[in-house]
Amino acid sequence: MAHRAGIDIIRAKDSPRLSYLGLRGRDFPVIFDIGANTGTYAANLARMFPKAKIYCFEPAPTIFRKLEIWASDEAQVTAVNLALSNHSGDVDMHFHEDHPPSSSLLQTTDLNIATFPFMQRQSSIKIRTERLDQFVKDQGIEFSSGALMKIDVQGHELAVLEGARSTLANVDAAIIEVNIDILYRDQCSLEQIIYALNNTGLRYAGNLDQSYGNDGHVMWIDAVFVRSR
């Protein structure tokens, strides 16, 4: 009856959000939180994986300051003021004044603004980009396997993966927000991401979450990819 009324009741022990589609039982030595914003997602990861060293990447200066303040009290967390991509250099970011988490290196589409009017007010800010492979090398980060990668970069996901080809060999799981609707110009597709990760041995394992439009269609998903054991 609850389902017919539009309500789904799921026992907590069966909730994929709590188990992270089975990832919660794994022991990740390193976690890369790419697109960390103020650290809300990373805080949840830190609770679930207390032994992991977490690197949080956030390029926007005003948002990074909030992330840095939170991370200063978290011994396992390192805040990094960078955007990850497939190249090194300075680029312009489209910063969304009224909703910073939706800011992107890509231009917002008319569909995105029509759907979310609070994305209308934007400014351009200069940020620094780096490849994850180069960052790992420069920082001397060592791990032979078992890392977790979370990516939330508003359509720029494929470029992040292209800049992390060596690192991905030691990643056992990835959680990637992927747009299904065309919300950013030149955004990558789910098919491109699946192809890129399949070549590293990571396979699509389902959606941790997904968001819907008013008509019920799926707008974006949090897709999980796992290396077969």
pLDDT tens digits along 204-215:
999 999 999 999
**Span 138-158, average pLDDT:** 94
CB-based burial, 63-99: b 16+ in 10 Å, e otherwise? bbebbbebbeeeeebebbbbbbbbeeeeeebbbbeee
**Predicted local confidence at residue 12, as pLDDT:** 58
- According to the model, what pLDDT value does residue 145 have? 82
Does the structure show a pLDDT above 70 at 9?
no
pTM of the model: 0.92
Q: Report d(CA 25, CA 34) in Å as an integer.
A: 22
Give 77-130 pLDDT, tens digit per residue: 999 999 999 999 999 999 999 999 999 999 999 999 999 999 999 999 999 999
Is the pLDDT confidence value at 7 over 90? no
DSSP 28: -
What's the pLDDT tens digit per position in 168-225? 999 999 999 999 999 999 999 999 999 999 999 999 999 999 999 999 999 999 999 9
3-state SS assignment for residue 191: helix
Confidence of residue 72 (pLDDT cuts 50, 70, 90): very high
Burial 158-169 (b: 16+ CB within 10 A, else e): bbbbbbbeebbe
Q: Which residues contact 115 (CB under 8 A, 6 or more apart)?
A: 181, 183, 213, 219
Backbone φ, ψ for residue 41 (5° rounding): -65, -40
Residue 25: the pLDDT is 83
Burial class, 189, CB count within 10 angstroms (exposed 0-12 / middle 13-18 / buried 19+): middle
User: pLDDT tens, 32-60?
Assistant: 999 999 999 999 999 999 999 999 999 99
